[in-house]
Amino acid sequence: MDNRELYRRAKAALPNAYAPFSNFRVGAALLTDSGEVFTGVNVENSSYGGTICAERTACVKAVSEGFRHFKALAVAAEEEKAYPCGICRQFLYEFAPDLTVITGRDEEHLEIHQLSELLPEGFRL
């Protein structure tokens, strides 16, 4: 699974995003060390603080199915690039401090970062 394919999986998840309040749809695809891909979308709520981002949806799906080791995460919004928010960075850091993060407005313009660059000194108990 290369970066482009993982990004395509994130993009393909976009139609399932539930974003009636922001109209900002986000898809994510999380690649496990053993090659499985878990996708996620943002799911908003009338009580705005209840909203969950696409990246956390993907991570929670994976962990709840017994997968905790991750290699890479791709994030796709509709026409612009989206970087994981601060809460998602910390959430992902819990399981994958060495995660590769892939974003970009389309698959021809991917930007690749390490989670350690996006979240230096993440918190750990």
Which residues of this chain interact with ligand THU, rule CB under 6 A? 19, 22, 24, 26, 42, 44, 51, 53-55, 75, 82, 84-85
Give the shortest CB-120-to-ligand THU separation in angstroms: 18
Give the shortest CB-118-to-ligand THU separation in angstroms: 11
| 55 catalytically annotated | yes
For ligand THU, the closer of residues 49 and 120 by Cβ is: 49
* Residues 6 or more apart in contact with residue 119 via CB below 8 angstroms: 86, 89, 90, 93
Give the shortest CB-58-to-ligand THU separation in angstroms: 10
Cα(75)–Cα(11) distance, rounded to whole angstroms? 8
Cα dihedral 26/35/95/66 (nearest 10): 100
Q: How many residues does the chain have?
A: 125
State the catalytic residues: 55
